[in-house]
Amino acid sequence: MTSQTFRSLSKRFPSLRIGILGDYCLDRYLEIDPSRSEVSIETGLLVHNVVHCRNQPGAAGTVLNNVAALGVGRIYPIGFAGEDGEGWELTRVLRGKPGVRMEHFIVTSERSTWTYAKPLVSGTGETLREINRLDIKNWTPTPRSVTRRIRQSLRDLASELDALIVLEQSETPEVGVIHSSVLQELADLSKAHPMLRIFGDSRRGLSHFPPMIFKMNRMELQRMSRLSAVPSRRETSHHMSLLARRLGKQVFVTMAEEGMLGCEPTGKCWLAPSLPIREPIDVVGAGDAVMANLAVVLAAGARTPQALAAASAAASIVVHQMGTTGVARLEEIQSLLGQCRVQPTVFS
């Protein structure tokens, strides 16, 4: 895809309406200055002093960050936070993103706010190194009162959206936003609104998801296809081609340094080789940037290879952002598109 084509597509982004359903968390970065360490008088333990704290939406919020960075006009987060300090901060940073409409985001006393507290220690040359993370999660099933509200939001929004992104961050079934009852609602909506593009991504794999546009990595495809080993690029193309035909939907598979594949419902596949890597890299958030760009660019009317090019550029940008869950901005993506050489596969 040329920069001119992307520029033409991006003119449609402000008119798009994108829903993002999923597990939202607060990413809290705690920057520690080792030179200020001291010993607690009360416990005798080492105290790490935080000199800077920054908060941003994480998990499904990382997808939202990238959608907002593309200039999408209306963005609807669909999920929940707790009535706690972390929830207050999460809703604050979500509201601060351009284009975000919060009327379908639930704040409830029945859930805790998922939080990733990420201590970062400054090293030589101001490089930040992440140490052991502190997580707050929910461990009990999501109450029906919450899932009912989520399902109602999906019904209310379905006819208004150009695309719906579904992200399951929780690896424990039934404790997050993507509850089995919510997946059934998505299956019903897909039938009732066949023109609505629904994109799915899950840390648990997508075998329990109803048919929709799937985005996964190669190991997740391995599990879904019940393969004994991680598939080669040729095998990946073959099995995702079969999956795309069965679903009647596009399928996208990321392959780290080997790039990314996208298959159409006809079974035709395209390869976007990865762009050159400059060390050091941090892959956190790259998959979410890929998902955001696939959804937005396809909703704007792009074809599969064009969406792959934009997603590949976004991934390259994000992996080179250190000490944060990165975001790919419109102008950055456009500057890299000349290097993205998407080609049809010859091994599907």
Cα radius of gyration (the chain)? 20
Residue (of 183, 253, 254, 238) closest to 212 by Cα position: 183
* Tens-place pLDDT, residues 329-347: 999 998 888 888 899 986 6
Unique residue bearing structure tokens 């089995």: 180
Inside any domain, residue 131: no
Q: How many domains does the chain have?
A: 1
The total of other beta-carbon atoms located within 10 Å of residue 290's CB is 27
Residue (of 328, 299, 303) closest to 73 by Cα position: 299
Compute the distance between CA of residue 40 and CA of residue 32 in angstroms, rounded to an integer: 16
Q: Residue 91: which H helix or E strand, with range? A: helix 85-95
Structure tokens at 19: 């829903």
Model pLDDT, residue 7: 87
Q: Residue 218: which H helix or E strand, with range? A: helix 218-224
Q: To the nearest 10°, report the CA torsion of 184, 216, 327, 154.
A: -10
* Tens-place pLDDT, residues 101-160: 999 999 999 999 999 999 999 765 567 788 899 999 999 999 999 999 999 999 999 999
Compute the distance between CA of residue 78 and CA of residue 218 in angstroms, rounded to an integer: 28
- pTM for the whole thing? 0.94
Inside any domain, residue 12: yes
Model pLDDT, residue 123: 64
Distances in Å between the Cα of 307 and the Cα atoms of 149, 187, 258, 292 are 33, 25, 17, 10
Distances in Å between the Cα of 196 and the Cα atoms of 11, 19, 249, 321, 340 are 21, 11, 12, 33, 28
CB 18 within 8 A of CB 81: no
The total of other beta-carbon atoms located within 10 Å of residue 134's CB is 11
The SS3 assignment for 346 reads coil
Compute the distance between CA of residue 152 and CA of residue 21 in angstroms, rounded to an integer: 12
Model pLDDT, residue 281: 60
DSSP 165-217: EEEE--SSTTSSSS-HHHHHHHHHHHHH-TTSEEEEEETT-STTSPSSEEEEE
In the chain, the percentage of residues whose pLDDT exceeds 70 is 96
Inside any domain, residue 128: no
Burial readout 157-170 (b: 16 or more C-beta within 10 A, e: otherwise) = bbeebbbbbbbbbb
Inside any domain, residue 50: no
Query: Ramachandran region of residue 110, left (φ > 0), alpha (ψ -120 to 50) or beta?
Result: alpha
Inside any domain, residue 222: yes
Inside any domain, residue 49: no
Q: Which domain holds residue 284?
A: 3-25+56-112+138-344
Inside any domain, residue 283: yes
pLDDT 10s per residue in the chain (348 long)? 777 888 899 999 999 999 999 999 999 999 999 989 999 999 999 999 999 999 999 999 999 999 999 999 999 999 999 999 999 999 999 999 999 999 999 999 999 999 999 999 976 556 778 889 999 999 999 999 999 999 999 999 999 999 999 999 999 999 999 999 999 999 999 999 999 999 999 999 999 999 999 999 999 999 999 999 999 999 999 999 999 999 999 999 999 889 999 999 999 999 999 887 776 766 677 889 999 999 999 999 999 999 999 999 999 998 777 666 688 899 999 888 888 889 998 665
Compute the distance between CA of residue 288 and CA of residue 285 in angstroms, rounded to an integer: 5
CB 25 within 8 A of CB 115: yes
Q: Residue 19: which H helix or E strand, with range? A: strand 17-22
Model pLDDT, residue 4: 82
Inside any domain, residue 328: yes
Distances in Å between the Cα of 333 and the Cα atoms of 66, 262, 302, 341 are 11, 19, 15, 14
Compute the distance between CA of residue 196 and CA of residue 212 in angstroms, rounded to an integer: 10
CA 5 to chain centre: 24
The CATH number linked to 317 is: 3.40.1190.20
